[in-house]
Amino acid sequence: MSSYPDARSVVRALKPDEPIILNRPHAAARAARFFQKNFPGKSLYAVKANPSAELIELLWANGITHYDVASIAEVRLVRRLLSEAELCFMHPVKAPGAIREAYFDHGVRTFSLDSSEELAKIVAATTSENGEPARNLRLLVRLRVSSEYSELSLASKFGCDLTEAPALLQECRQWADWLGVCFHVGSQAMTPFAYVQALERARAAIAEASVVVDVVDVGGGFPSVYPGMEPPPLEDYFTIIHRQFEALPIAYNAELWCEPGRALCAEYSSLVVRVEKRRGDELFINDGSYGALFDAAHVAWKFPVVALEDDLIKPLQDFAFYGPTCDDADFMEGPFALPEDIQAGDYIEIGMLGAYGAAMKTDFNGFGATRSVVVEDEPMASLYDGSRVRPAADNVVSLR
Ligand SMILES: *Cc1c(COP(=O)(O)O)cnc(C)c1O
């Protein structure tokens, strides 16, 4: 992959007609090392946040040995890249064939579930041809917890509640070599208290079930930095989680796990787009809701932006973006603060798109980034560089 000092040099060298993804391997490596060093347990990378092969290999090289996978395609992908990695199938509703292939062909032993039906499915799919049930299953019961402290909810779809969890834990204990609980507090949890509340639920479920628990997995939800969303330091999350974990009624050698997606890769990528047309305070850019900007359109997520032309001298004003496809839904309200004199032909860098950005893009209508390059500068904001924000991120206005 070609490498450039920064977005401006990419634009100068390539004058790209199509959007380009800029990857910052040093930023993802730094995030991985931070979790390795500071999280008081094991950190699994949640592959769905960004399944790029380069990123997965980079995380492995920086100490991430466990991967949270949710589909058989993710199982195959990570196994193909990393023959030694520990894969954990953390989707609570799986196809029987996916469980079978994961277990027998790819060495997956860890599965999550939230119902007796799913337990029966897992047991059946991992039973050998001569009728021997698997003896090495690691089962994690997914609890439903509140998403009230997070920007994106994961609360309604999965997880069993406190009336069901104790019986399911007891049932799983009979089949599991290792038994655990897991949950997800919702993505971009803006306060560590989200985990306190969830761990209180875990405690209630474990106490009620009175079974031996070998692993407590606090899931994802660790935040990154975006305009108007400046979370407390991750160390605060880790400290509080560790304190709560230590007080749980679990095996003395029980493990603590987490499954960061966003926090490990948000800083990894940004995107260079070009303005193709200006209509008042609306800019028509060449990527959008079907491209790497799904969240900007669908949940009005605010990403930092910076204009890349040296000759734009006017003060900033708020703009909305239209993406390139032919429908009105391809719209991002922002607001995105850019120089008043920006016009068609000018390039913009949109930051913090390593998580749920590059991963979401489609080819719909023939648009979207097909190329990525490496850049060496800092991401527009970082939780890991000690300074938090580089000057370019001042170029941002938030609604909150
Ligand atoms: C999406 C997901 C994650 C990652 O969540 P982030 O908010 O990106 O950290 C982790 N675990 C499970 C089960 C998920 O579905």
Give the domain CATH number at 293.
Answer: 2.40.37.10
Amino acid, res. 67: Y
The mean per-residue pLDDT over the stretch 226-237 comes to 95
The verdict on 94 and 14 lying in the same domain is no
Residue of 45, 66, 187, 218 to test ligand 1 pocket, by largest number of atoms within 8 Å of CB: 187
Q: Which CATH number does the domain housing residue 138 bear?
A: 3.20.20.10
**Residue 380, in any domain of the structure:** no
**Residue 396, in any domain of the structure:** no
Which residues, including other chains, have CB under 8 Å from residue 180's CB and lie 6 or more apart? 138, 139, 140, 141, 213, 214, 215, 216, 217, 257
**Residue 316, in any domain of the structure:** yes
pLDDT beyond 50 at 103: yes
Report the separation in Å between the CA atom of 17 and the middle of ligand 1, taken as the mean of its atom positions. 34
Maximum Cα–Cα distance across the chain: 75
Q: 280: exposed, middle or buried (C-beta count within 10 Å: 0-12, 13-18, 19+)?
A: exposed
**Residue 125, in any domain of the structure:** yes
The verdict on 102 and 140 lying in the same domain is yes
DSSP label of 164: T
Report the separation in Å between the CA atom of 360 and the middle of ligand 1, taken as the mean of its atom positions. 15
The verdict on 114 and 257 lying in the same domain is yes
Q: Nearest 5°: phi and psi at 79?
A: -65, -40
How far apart are the C-alpha atoms of 283 and 343, rounded to whole Å?
Answer: 8
**Residue 322, in any domain of the structure:** yes
**Residue 393, in any domain of the structure:** no
Residue of 184, 187, 224 to test ligand 1 pocket, by largest number of atoms within 8 Å of CB: 184
Residue 387 has a pLDDT of 63
Question: So which residues are the catalytic ones?
Answer: 326
The verdict on 325 and 257 lying in the same domain is no
Higher pLDDT, 32 or 391: 32
Number of domains in the chain: 2
pLDDT in tens, 313-329: 889 999 999 999 999 89
Residue 390 has a pLDDT of 40
pTM: 0.94
- Determine the structural domain holding residue 109 and report its residue range: 26-265
The verdict on 200 and 54 lying in the same domain is yes
The verdict on 64 and 95 lying in the same domain is yes
Please confirm whether the linkage preceding 335 is cis (ω < 30° from 0): yes
Q: Among 386, 384, 389, 354, which residue's Cα sits nearest to residue 31? A: 384
pLDDT beyond 80 at 38: yes
Residue 400 has a pLDDT of 31
Helices in 223-337 by DSSP H: which ranges? 234-246, 262-265, 294-298
Pocket of ligand 1 (CB under 6 A): 46, 48-49, 68, 90, 184, 187, 219-222, 259-263, 355
Higher pLDDT, 366 or 213: 213
Q: Nearest 5°: phi and psi at 266?
A: -55, -40
Q: Among 90, 23, 91, which residue's Cα sits nearest to residue 58? A: 23
The verdict on 150 and 60 lying in the same domain is yes
